[in-house]
Structure 1
């Protein structure tokens, strides 16, 4: 077995930046169609609208978890294949299947790049607030910080803007789009105007990595974990090595904005947060629809806690602690929930914050004519056969997303609640676990980031 050497991480990072999706190689009809239909538009009529729609229906009928409940609608009612795909979905059960331009998706999850301004935002009651900033981005250079409120865009108050115009401004699809933002910084009385131009922004999978001690001398390791992307593998390993070096006694992983990503990253992260008691054990068992018992029975459908990185090059470091703290919220989704569910049979998992999004499902990427389609294909179960969180996972202690403090600040409400629990074993001023209603609300388009809600096979 090869040992883990820090100097080699630069090579691994460079490889992660350029990693591509492996080819589809099995002999199933869906796989053959996937490879055939990835042909560029215009070649032999393969990408005609009618052919795309037939492919969409056939793909869902083959792999969709609820294939026998597809919403049969006239395909002529829809002007694009993605619109037709959406109409066929079983909306009463499925909040997560989606399609997206392939280049945009690959850029984010494989290359760690997104077109935008570098601010991440949330909305409430007609207001928009900054959640966190990507380093070295237009928003960072404009000194925008967490907790700032966006008051208007191009002199139009947020409350007066249509959902369509907000989506266009906040989620640009090309570089060099310029907008004038009026913002009020956290704690400021006066607003200020900032012109931001969209560009390709590097997304940092982890941020604010730190170790610190409380007044009792207990040492903690904190990291903000934003996405299970290809690039995150190296950063997560480095962070755990830092925690080991500083001999932390508790690890706090802030996943409140982590909507998921690649399942293999979730398995690796869970292994590093645990120890020898999980190695080689079942992390997640994937169950496919009744058309594909061979997939459910395949060894690859039993995801184990790995001892090494995906490419079998480096040994994963392990914290080997009896418990882990995870900061959660409605944007903690899919692969992030897999970490919670997968670790629970083996160690104490303490959740601080709010209920997670509720996605025990996953899919594979199917590319066709420039679009990437993600139809829910499987449900994930832990080693105890549990997967009962379609309505979200309740936290151990409820605590607000405190926009008045920076992420990683021990005074920030969720981190403060985690520290209190670590010291006392109680929620303190935070509320204890309670039953919440089912998740049924649908975000408006400008707040919708559902394409990031991933439990994705690669």
Structure 2
């Protein structure tokens, strides 16, 4: 491969001889400047540097001073809809402001398509997805998080605050907190009802942006009340929240809840907890002889595309072997130069799939189901009977190739600025189906009762409808089912979608290209 056409994931700004003039260059071509983009004559701050190179990577070229004649290779999927902008303009107080302006031009049929591009100024997302380590949400110190998500729910007359899931390895999970547990007080404050304003802000800051919190909790199954004090921390992510094998009308049916697509191999090439957990899970499913599979993605916002490929390969029938899994769609200039860039046109299933023989695969989805989750289920649709139950997915048929942006000051000291996640590609399945910016609608709608613990098959409307389909070929809910929790008198309470905004990552990233040029 031509070394000047490899993807320059690590980009440097070098301040030459103490001046403020910027030169974006490769290590082996440090004296060459490319002035084909608007340049700032007085760039003096880190933020100016970040704005300049972010704009350049997205709109001009990722090649820094390369000798190859073809250097006009912007990376942004919608680069040709963005007019020429001056990244040094005072109109943009920060790189984030500039990025928001650029995103606003990604319009199709009156709809702004790019709801996704962002800057990660801590670098924690890369560690989380690639190495399976908990992401840091706290804005003050790098302290990890509590490893749980919360949401409001309603019984039709009153709102309640619930834990919707907790990672088994997280501070919350290690204390025994789990789905369906009701939070009745935070730091002694019982005024938690949903108001769309100050109460929501109070809960959001306490759960996602603090380093210590005390919760009064009513347990889902027993109804007992206890107080828990949590300290945020780092942990190895276990993306499988719950798994089991049911027997439905004589048919073995595997079920697991998957909440994030962390890599199966880390940055050092070692298998992650994600891989070992999934390997063990599918080994159990295969040994049990399952003929139906339920993948619960209702809180999965995506992650690494390689893990999506792993899941698809484990689930797909033998007939899918070596056939196209999905296609990439880049902008026109990258597409015209694929041979030189190292970018792939498509991904195929491996020479052998996981060995399951499934009649159906069901995905439980919601408005939180995004990106790599949508990729996973869309990839399988051409090859097997795929059914979606729940709610319409988020709608993110596009992904990122991350760019690490650093600068070198006049003393040649390297300083990290941010990781750029700007949309670089879209995906389509083997039938060339994609473009689901408005989400993928379910085959059968079902409520998400978040006070129901994982696996309560008669009280989880999603599971009950799926079991009915396996038994009868119809999703209709059985009239004999109880409408209350098996071990509680609490009525079923449906989630209030988007009642709390989680800082957890939502998207899909392909890190492989960066690895190729290390």
Q: 1:185 to 1:84 in 2, by over 3 A?
A: farther
RMSD: 3.2
Distance 1:193 1:220 in 2: 37
Distance 1:334 1:253 in 2: 15
- Provide Cα deviations, 1:1-21, integer angstroms capped at 9, x if missing partner: xxxxxxxxxxxxxxxxxxxxx
Distance 2:178 2:504 in 1: 24
Specify the alignment match of 2:140 in structure 1: none
Q: 1:365 aligns with which of 381, 386, 402?
A: 402
Is residue 103 of structure 2 the alignment partner of residue 55 of structure 1? no
Distance 1:155 1:87 in 2: 42
Q: 1:404 to 1:150 in 2, by over 3 A?
A: closer
Q: 2:473 aligns with which of 419, 422, 425?
A: 425
Distance 2:51 2:238 in 1: 36
Specify the alignment match of 1:382 in structure 2: 429
Q: Which moved more, 1:262-271 or 1:71-80?
A: 71-80
Specify the alignment match of 1:147 in structure 2: 180
- Equivalences for 1:11-410 in 2 at 5 Å? 27-28=4-5, 31-32=7-8, 34-37=9-12, 48-61=46-59, 62-70=74-82, 72=85, 75-90=89-104, 92-114=112-134, 115-123=144-152, 127-156=160-189, 157-159=191-193, 161=198, 165-172=202-209, 177-186=211-220, 192-214=226-248, 216-230=249-263, 231=272, 232-294=274-336, 300-307=344-351, 317-368=354-405, 369-410=416-457
Q: 1:250 to 1:184 in 2, by over 3 A?
A: same
- Provide Cα deviations, 1:370-403, integer angstroms capped at 9, x if missing partner: 4211111111011111114211111111111122
- Provide Cα deviations, 1:139-174, integer angstroms capped at 9, x if missing partner: 23433231223344334433573665544322237x
Distance 1:133 1:269 in 2: 22
Runs of 4+ more than 6 Å apart: 43-47, 187-190
- Structure 1: gaps (5+ residues): 1-23, 308-314, 431-440
User: Under a length normalisation based on structure 1, what TM-score does the superposition of the two structures give?
Assistant: 0.79
Distance 1:120 1:25 in 2: 46
Distance 1:226 1:365 in 2: 22
Distance 2:98 2:185 in 1: 34
1:73 Cα deviation after fit? 7.8
Q: Would you tell me which structure has more helix in proportion to its own residues?
A: 1
Distance 2:199 2:386 in 1: 42
Q: How many residues align?
A: 409
SS of match in other structure, 1:76:
coil
- Structure 2: gaps (5+ residues): 23-44, 60-73, 107-111, 135-143, 264-271, 406-415, 479-495, 513-518
Distance 1:304 1:60 in 2: 28
Distance 2:114 2:511 in 1: 18
8 Å contact 1:96–1:450 — kept in the other structure? no
Q: 1:424 to 1:457 in 2, by over 3 A?
A: farther
Specify the alignment match of 1:9 in structure 2: none
User: Under a length normalisation based on structure 2, what TM-score does the superposition of the two structures give?
Assistant: 0.71
SS of match in other structure, 2:50:
helix
Q: 1:194 to 1:161 in 2, by over 3 A?
A: farther
